[in-house]
A = this chain, B = another copy of it.
Amino acid sequence: MEWIEVPEEGLTLRQVRAITARNQSESEAIRQRVEHILQAVQERGDEALKEFTAIFDGPFLDSFLVTEEEIDAAVAAVGSDFMAVLEEAAANIRTYHERQVETTWMDTFRPGVRLGAKFTPIQRVGVYVPGGTAAYPSTVLMDIIPAHVAGVPSIAVFTPPKKDGSVNPYILAAARVAGATEIYKAGGAQGVAAAAFGTESIPPVFKIVGPGNAYVAMAKRLVFGTVGIDMIAGPSEVGVLADDTANPVWVAADLLAQAEHDARAAVFLVTPSRALAEKVEAEVRRQLDELPRRDIAAPSVEQYGKIFVTKDMNQAVEVMNLIAPEHLELDTADAEALAGDIVNAGAIFIGPYTPEPIGDYFAGPNHTLPTMGTAAFSSPLGVYDFVKRSSLLQYDKEAFEAVAEKVMAFANVEGLQAHGLAVKRRMDHE
């Protein structure tokens, strides 16, 4: 891990961005291939989708829709023990997300003036679920349940089939538990295209969420506008803010839990305690050797592991707020009070018994979080991502007449005479 001695005057946003930056150059070659796939699916629908699925995933499918029988078989394969874990996690996620539901309102602001906001679920959404080694049932729960709680009437999952035409049973089981209404064997850029544009057999969606590889991320970026998308997630990261009271064995284990996700995952320790920092670094080295996913975690720690040593805890908080980490663990004597000083973080894990994996799987808050410093301006995935607002406005005749002159004055200043006329013709009772 790289050591950064934070100077007396602190670090600037620009300096912190440079220290925490990761490679994420988008390839022009990927863009061109994805554009080709999107266009083909938009023009030739199911036929193109079948071709690309055969080329990239293996099977030549008659139908993309996963049957109820396939889902039943997946549930049996997963087994009742893990189904119970899935159900309990889903219940926790649902309970937390129900706190995010907002309801339509309309009130009288002045006599004759009624204003409000109407909340409507997006009418159909697509949830992308990666296949292969990155098939995480927890992400299936986290991406579908907020849509379900929002009341989205139609939630379609898109996921690549395996060579034999089947889908990972954990994905199918989690999708059923979470409340998906359909599951399609369609992945990659072609799956995103089918979701955005629709085909003969797949109705289009209005928004696409969920993680994916570079092709999926590029496809989402290119269909943005036609449909809504969630964030384009970068590699994962954790920041640990700790003092002398922290257990260095646990801090090291938490850093490595993040590092094993991705060779480009980043792990940050920010602490005023040089003694703790030294112990944690030694522990990371020791524990790395015991890890099955050492080959992923080691390059992450080497390239993107940073230890910031600060003059005091105030400065440590300042640095952490500039990092704006996806996951933030507070492992200090006064962790709960310290949470109040955090302005930028996707999720804040308070105290030594709230390691990040608790939030990944079980606690309830969403694990789809803003990465790469974007927590400075964006939020975890939530019910609010699956609901949109319409403003409500209603003036009666008297209230309208009371403001007519002022509206016309505004229209006049902005040179929009037809705006003024829309008011004036009503005043003239034309």
A213 CB to nearest chain B CB (Å): 17
Closest residue of B by beta carbon distance from A291: B418
Q: In chain A, residues 412-430, which have Cβ atoms closer than 8 Å to a Cβ of chain B?
A: 413-423, 425-426, 430
Cα distance A392–B168 in the bound complex, in angstroms: 32
Cα distance A260–B421 in the bound complex, in angstroms: 11
Chain B residues near A354: list those with CB within 8 A: 393-395, 400
Binds B, one of A1-9, A50-58, A63-71, A337-345: A337-345
**A133 on interface, CB distance cutoff 8 Å:** yes
CB-based contact A257/B422 at 8 Å: yes
With A390-B342, A413-B137: A256-B422 Cβ-Cβ less than 8 Å: yes
Cα distance A376–B365 in the bound complex, in angstroms: 26
Cα distance A307–B226 in the bound complex, in angstroms: 23
With A123-B376, A339-B118, A400-B353: A362-B392 Cβ-Cβ less than 8 Å: no
With A14-B198, A347-B393: A423-B260 Cβ-Cβ less than 8 Å: no
With A407-B362, A411-B357, A426-B355: A379-B388 Cβ-Cβ less than 8 Å: yes
CB-based contact A206/B260 at 8 Å: no
**A299 on interface, CB distance cutoff 8 Å:** no
A335 CB to nearest chain B CB (Å): 8
Chain B residues near A416: list those with CB within 8 A: 257, 260-261, 293, 357
Cα distance A138–B120 in the bound complex, in angstroms: 27
The residue in A122, A206, A384 that gathers the most chain B C-beta atoms within 10 A of its C-beta is: A206
**A28 on interface, CB distance cutoff 8 Å:** no
Q: In chain A, residues 121-149, which have Cβ atoms closer than 8 Å to a Cβ of chain B?
A: 122-123, 133, 136-138
Cα distance A247–B374 in the bound complex, in angstroms: 49
Cα distance A343–B154 in the bound complex, in angstroms: 14
CB-based contact B395/A391 at 8 Å: no
A233 CB to nearest chain B CB (Å): 11
Closest residue of B by beta carbon distance from A198: B14
Main secondary structure of the interface of A (DSSP, over half): mixed
CB-based contact B410/A85 at 8 Å: yes
**A380 on interface, CB distance cutoff 8 Å:** yes
CB-based contact A410/B89 at 8 Å: yes
Binds B, one of A33-41, A109-117, A156-164, A179-187: A109-117
With A96-B115, A253-B422, A415-B133: A228-B378 Cβ-Cβ less than 8 Å: yes
The residue in A225, A375, A421 that gathers the most chain B C-beta atoms within 10 A of its C-beta is: A421
Chain B residues near A376: list those with CB within 8 A: 122-123, 206, 388
**A235 on interface, CB distance cutoff 8 Å:** no
Q: A115-B364, A260-B418, A358-B395 are in contact. List 5 more A-B contacts (CB 8 A).
A: A250-B425, A347-B392, A354-B394, A357-B411, A382-B389
Residues of A within 8 A of B (CB): 13-14, 81-82, 85, 88-89, 92, 95-96, 99-100, 105, 109, 113-115, 117-118, 120, 122-123, 133, 136-138, 170, 198, 203-204, 206-207, 225, 227-228, 232, 247, 249-250, 253-254, 256-257, 259-261, 287, 290-293, 297, 328, 335-336, 339, 342-366, 369-370, 372, 374-380, 382, 384, 388-397, 399-400, 403, 406-407, 409-411, 413-423, 425-426, 430
A-B contact pairs, 24 of them (CB 8 A): A13-B198, A89-B410, A115-B365, A117-B365, A118-B339, A118-B348, A137-B410, A170-B413, A225-B232, A254-B422, A256-B421, A257-B418, A287-B421, A339-B392, A347-B390, A348-B391, A349-B394, A350-B393, A354-B394, A357-B423, A358-B423, A362-B410, A363-B393, A363-B395
Q: Which 4 A-B pairs have the closest CB atoms?
A: A228-B377, A365-B391, A347-B391, A350-B394
